[in-house]
């Protein structure tokens, strides 16, 4: 049985905060709304909206900071924006290594897809959603859809893409990785990605063990992916397509 405590939503981002608005709620509690960008390893940075509650509103100021918190999502006028709810504000890393780390429980929207790159490396991808629950009226909020991608490591380890290849529509999986934003060359639309780069082979594939996972500092400089799925002996991986697709990380 999966309980609410099994679901993970944890992130650490080093962001560049620009404009900040300090506000007061109807209940008289202060909060802050800010515009920020999350630098990418490649390409343009990802835009974020920061909403700071729980007494840390005054800590949200312009500049580069590392924020610890949870990921949300909002849509307005047909455009989706990732919303970040920080619970802690830390200085930017002194080592210059910007943080981009998420640990999210997602639901699979379709069966996974796997292929081989031109170099013969196995990789897989799957569309997954981060639920945002219901609003005050009882209506479901729009989910954050991510294309989760896993690649064979430089050492030839296929653990991450092989785990993704087992996912079917409706499955729940907790994945640790880094967020990315990609603009399609074909239609010009932007898509949110989650790159899973390393698996943790020591943990059994069982959602029951998710609550035992702990986060320790310092936070990883890159993403170290631990993919956990419900075991099913009858489960079979997707069949790799015969034609290659460009592998981009």
Phi then psi for residue 56, to 5 deg, are: -110, 10
Does 146 share its domain with 82? no
3-state secondary structure string, 183-198?
ECCCCCCEEEEEEECC
Does 125 share its domain with 166? yes
Query: How many structural domains compose the chain?
Result: 2
Return the percentage of the chain with pLDDT > 90, whole number: 39
Nearest CA to 49 out of 13, 77, 73 is that of 73
Q: What is the pLDDT of residue 68?
A: 97
Q: Is residue 235 part of a domain?
A: no
Mean pLDDT for all residues in the chain: 78
Q: Is residue 242 part of a domain?
A: no
Q: What is the pLDDT of residue 2?
A: 45
Name the residue with tokens 């962001």.
15
pTM for the whole structure? 0.78
Q: Is the peptide bond before 218 cis (omega within 30 degrees of 0)?
A: yes
Specify which residues 137 forms β-bridges with. Answer: none
3-state SS, residue 6: helix
Q: Is residue 177 part of a domain?
A: yes
Does 54 share its domain with 120? no
pLDDT exceeds 90 at position 91 = yes
> Residue range 46-69: average pLDDT?
93
pLDDT exceeds 90 at position 14 = yes
- Residue 54 to residues 25, 59, 86, 168, 189, Cα–Cα distance (Å): 12, 11, 9, 38, 35
How far is it, in rounded angstroms, from Cα 108 to Cα 147? 10
> Residue range 70-95: average pLDDT?
91
What's 19's domain CATH number?
2.40.50.140
Q: What is the pLDDT of residues 107-137, one digit of tens each?
A: 999 998 988 888 888 999 999 999 988 888 8
pLDDT exceeds 80 at position 213 = no
> Residue range 87-95: average pLDDT?
92
Specify which residues 86 forms β-bridges with. Answer: 69
Does 92 share its domain with 121? no
Q: Is residue 171 part of a domain?
A: yes
How far is it, in rounded angstroms, from Cα 13 to Cα 66? 6
Does 127 share its domain with 24? no
Nearest CA to 15 out of 82, 56, 63, 73 is that of 63
How far is it, in rounded angstroms, from Cα 71 to Cα 104? 9
**Chain centre to alpha carbon of residue 149:** 11
How far is it, in rounded angstroms, from Cα 43 to Cα 50? 21
Q: What is the pLDDT of residue 237?
A: 56
- Check: CB of residue 46 under 8 Å from CB of residue 11: no
Q: Which residue has the higher pLDDT, 223 or 123?
A: 123
pLDDT exceeds 70 at position 229 = no
Q: What's the domain range around 210?
A: 102-229
- Check: CB of residue 242 under 8 Å from CB of residue 123: no
> Residue range 25-49: average pLDDT?
91
Q: How many CB atoms lie within 10 A of CB 41?
A: 11
Residues 6+ apart with CB under 8 A from 72: 51, 82, 83, 84, 85, 132, 144
How far is it, in rounded angstroms, from Cα 145 to Cα 108? 10
Does 113 share its domain with 55? no
Does 140 share its domain with 88? no
pLDDT exceeds 80 at position 223 = no
The model's confidence at residue 211, banded by pLDDT at 50, 70 and 90, is very low
Does 111 share its domain with 225? yes
Return the percentage of the chain with pLDDT > 70, whole number: 76
Does 81 share its domain with 169? no
């Amino acid at each position: 049985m999966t309980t609410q405590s099994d679901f993970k939503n944890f992130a650490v981002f080093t962001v560049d905060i620009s404009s900040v608005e300090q506000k007061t709620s109807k209940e008289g509690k202060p909060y802050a709304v800010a515009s920020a960008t999350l630098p990418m390893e490649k390409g343009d940075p990802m835009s974020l909206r920061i909403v700071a509650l729980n007494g840390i509103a005054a800590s949200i100021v312009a500049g580069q900071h590392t924020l610890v918190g949870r990921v949300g999502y909002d849509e307005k006028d047909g455009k989706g924006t990732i919303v970040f709810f920080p619970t802690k504000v830390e200085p930017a890393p002194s080592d210059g290594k910007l943080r981009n780390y998420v640990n999210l429980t997602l639901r699979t929207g379709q069966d996974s897809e796997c292929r081989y790159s031109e170099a013969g490396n196995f990789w897989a991808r799957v569309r997954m959603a981060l639920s945002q629950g219901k609003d005050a009226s009882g209506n479901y909020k729009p989910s954050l859809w991510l294309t989760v991608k896993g690649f064979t490591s430089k050492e030839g380890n296929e653990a991450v893409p092989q785990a993704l290849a087992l996912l079917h529509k409706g499955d729940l999986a907790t994945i640790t990785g880094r967020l990315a934003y990609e603009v399609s060359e074909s239609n010009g639309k932007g898509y949110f990605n989650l790159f899973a780069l390393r698996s943790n082979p020591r943990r059994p594939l069982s959602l029951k063990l998710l609550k035992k996972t702990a986060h320790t500092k310092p936070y990883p400089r890159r993403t170290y992916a631990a993919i956990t799925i419900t075991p099913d002996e009858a489960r079979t991986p997707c069949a790799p397509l015969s034609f290659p697709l460009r592998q981009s990380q």
